[in-house]
Amino acid sequence: MKLDSLLGHAAEIYAHIEKSALPPDRELEYFFRNRKYLGARDRKIIAETVYHTLRHLKRIEYILSRQNQTGRSSDSGTLNAHVLVATGWYLLKKDQNDESLTSYYDFLHTHQFFKFLSKLDVNIAPQELGSSDPYTKEYLSVKHSFPVWMIDEITGLTRKQNPDVELAVLNQQAPTTLRTNTLKTTRERLLEILSGEGIAAAPTVHSPFGITLSKRLNVFNMPSFKEGYFEMQDEGSQIIGWMLDPKPNIKVFDACAGAGGKSLLLSMIMQNRGEIVASDIHSERLARLKMRARKAGAGNIRILEHDALQPYEDTIHGKYDLALVDAPCSGLGTIRRNPGMKWTVTTKSTKELSIKQSTILRHCAQLVRPGGLLVYITCTFVAEENEKVATDFLEKTNQFESITPDVHLKKKELTGMSDGRFLRLNPWEHGTDLFFGALFRRRIEESHG
């Protein structure tokens, strides 16, 4: 397929993504499903062009505005989408020097629509934004295409005034990571099976269950997936479950279980023993969890449909050894996978989420027995959703004390994943999505006999 047609497809899906509430990967999945005529190479170019455009949108718009090539039109905006993704493709070619795109590169010089691209100066000097300092947040915002407020959050997280490297990493493509289901097989055996299926893979660095694929592919049609030998799960999620090390005889409450990724992980670590209550407000997600549990051979998971923003029944208060609150959050820790959230998440939305997270944490705290563990997890780098929620919780209760994750991490010989008070996982140090974790122990009341 010719480049102009490929980029026409990319512009079509990009324009749809801009108006959709669904993440880009889901929209691309639907888009390709309805266009069976697109081959694997065509799909790769379209998908990578769309993702690169989303990742570098602010940079692209700045370059185009500087060149007086805004591409704005008075109609439905189609031309604008074409110019944006064409520039996104051009940057993709220059940034990555992807040899698979070489045959298309010369096409720029023969097609009227793309002639201006070959003349674009994509280098941006700090002086253009009013300073010779290459680490001002205004310059980093344009260079790496992040809203300024997100630059502030990353700066606060890294405690660096020049988080240039970290921002660059957040613009890279995340790896495709699997979690071996040890209820059915071993990681070594699964690596052999994947090799037999013609898939290059390697063990993850930290998780003893994890496998990283050498390239992105659709794993859901693989025989080994259909047999329940693995699930897709970021290594960070795997580390959290492994670090907690739930024993086979305990009772666990997974308060925001969704489709059950962490419930399935805990079930596997607990050797399909004990009891896990997986709770969520969304019945369709719980239905998916039931199917996944059957396929995985996880029989110790019980389903409870409940809105965690509402109090739980008194009958289950104080009944659980471990309550896990993988709270609904902005999800910015997965920005490598869904770069479009750069332009949809706002400070207002994170503050609204913070209020909900505090309510959920307070309700789930009631479920923990004396001496039991309450774990608060998010996948975001926003302090409003992380430290603030954890700190506010401790300030408003005397029933819980903060527990450093170092004790759990050291048992698994995991280092550099804590600041002494909270769990911190990130892609530039650990290769994972970005996770925050706070651990609380319920105090055992002294007897005054």
Q: pLDDT per residue over 353-382, tens digit each?
A: 999 999 999 999 999 999 999 999 999 999
Q: Of 49, 69, 35, 64, whose CA–CA distance to 3 is shortest?
A: 49
Q: What is the pLDDT of residue 111?
A: 54
Q: pLDDT digits over 428-442, tens only?
A: 999 999 999 999 999
- Give dist(CA 406, CA 412) in Å, integer: 10
Of the chain, the percentage scoring pLDDT greater than 90 comes to 71
- Asked if residue 397 lies in contact with residue 389, where contact means CB atoms within 8 angstroms, the answer is no
Tell me the average pLDDT across 267-295: 96
Rounded to whole angstroms, the Cα distance separating 431 from 27 reads: 26
Task: Give the model's pLDDT for residue 107.
Answer: 47
Q: How confident is the model at residue 97 (pLDDT cuts 50, 70, 90)?
A: low
Segment 128-147 shows an average pLDDT of 91
User: 149 φ, ψ to 5°?
Assistant: -65, -30
Helical residues (DSSP H) of 34-144, grouped into ranges: 40-55, 57-66, 78-96, 102-105, 137-144
pLDDT at 445 over 80: no
Q: Averaged over 30-41, what is the pLDDT?
A: 90
Please give the C-alpha separations between residue 352 and each of 330, 355, 357, 388, in angstroms, as whole numbers.
10, 5, 9, 13
The reported pLDDT for the residue numbered 408 is: 95
* 101-110, 215-224, 283-292: least confident range: 101-110
Q: What is the CA radius of gyration of the chain?
A: 24
Task: Give the residue-averaged pLDDT of 300-325.
Answer: 97
If DSSP states are collapsed to H, E and C, what string results for 302-353?
EEEECCCCCCCCHHHCCCEEEEEEECCCCCHHHCCCCHHHHHCCCHHHHHHH
Cα→Cα distances 132→35, 127, 135, 136, 427, Å: 48, 5, 9, 9, 29
Residue-level pLDDT at 299: 96
Residue with tokens 């941006």: 124
Segment among 70-74, 98-102, 199-203, 255-259 with least mean pLDDT? 70-74
For 130: left if phi > 0, alpha if psi spans -120 to 50, otherwise beta; the answer is left
pLDDT attached to residue 84:
87
Q: Please list, in sequence order, all residues whose beta carbon lies within 8 angstroms of the beta carbon of residue 13, skipping any fewer than 6 positions away.
A: 27, 28, 31, 46, 50
Q: State the CB neighbour count (10 A cutoff) for residue 289.
A: 23
**Percent of the chain having pLDDT more than 70?**
91
Helix (H) or strand (E) holding 281: none
Average pLDDT over residues 165-180: 95
Tell me the pLDDT band of 54, cut-offs 50, 70 and 90: very high
The pLDDT confidence band at residue 99, using thresholds 50, 70 and 90, is low
Residue with more model confidence, 253 or 447: 253
Q: Which residue has the tokens 């389903």?
A: 303
- Residue 154 pLDDT > 60, yes or no? yes
Q: Is the pLDDT of residue 108 over 50?
A: no
Better pLDDT: 180 or 448: 180
Q: 88 pLDDT exceeds 50? A: yes
Q: How far apart are CA 105 and CA 127, in angstroms?
A: 30
Whole-number pLDDT of residue 294: 96
109: pLDDT strictly greater than 60: no
Report pTM. Answer: 0.91
Q: Would you state the pLDDT for residue 98?
A: 56
Q: Taking residues 260-285, report their average pLDDT.
A: 97
The closest of 53, 139, 43 to 95, measured between CA atoms, is 53
The amino acid at residue 356 is K
Q: Report the alpha-carbon distance of residue 277 to residue 74 in Å, rounded.
A: 54
What is the pLDDT, as a whole number, of residue 447?
38
Among candidate residues 71, 77, 97, 58, the one with its CA nearest the CA of residue 19:
77
Mean of the per-residue pLDDT values of the chain = 90
β-strand partners of 368: 320
Length of the chain as a residue count:
449
- Position 80 pLDDT exceeds 60: yes
CA distance 5 to 66: 27
Find, among 109, 95, 67, 90, the residue nearest to 10 by Cα. Answer: 90
Instruction: Tell me the mean pLDDT in the region 389-403.
Output: 96
Mean pLDDT of 162-188: 95
Mean pLDDT of 58-72: 75
Query: How many Cα atoms sit within 13 Å of 192 on the Cβ side?
Result: 5
Q: Which pLDDT value is given to residue 73?
A: 38
- Any bridge partners for residue 277, and if so which? 253, 302
How far apart, in Å, are the Cα atoms of 364 and each of 59, 61, 159, 322, 361?
A: 43, 45, 32, 10, 5
Contacts of 99 (CB under 8 A, 6+ apart): none
The answer to which of 125-139, 306-320, 369-383 has the lowest mean pLDDT is 125-139
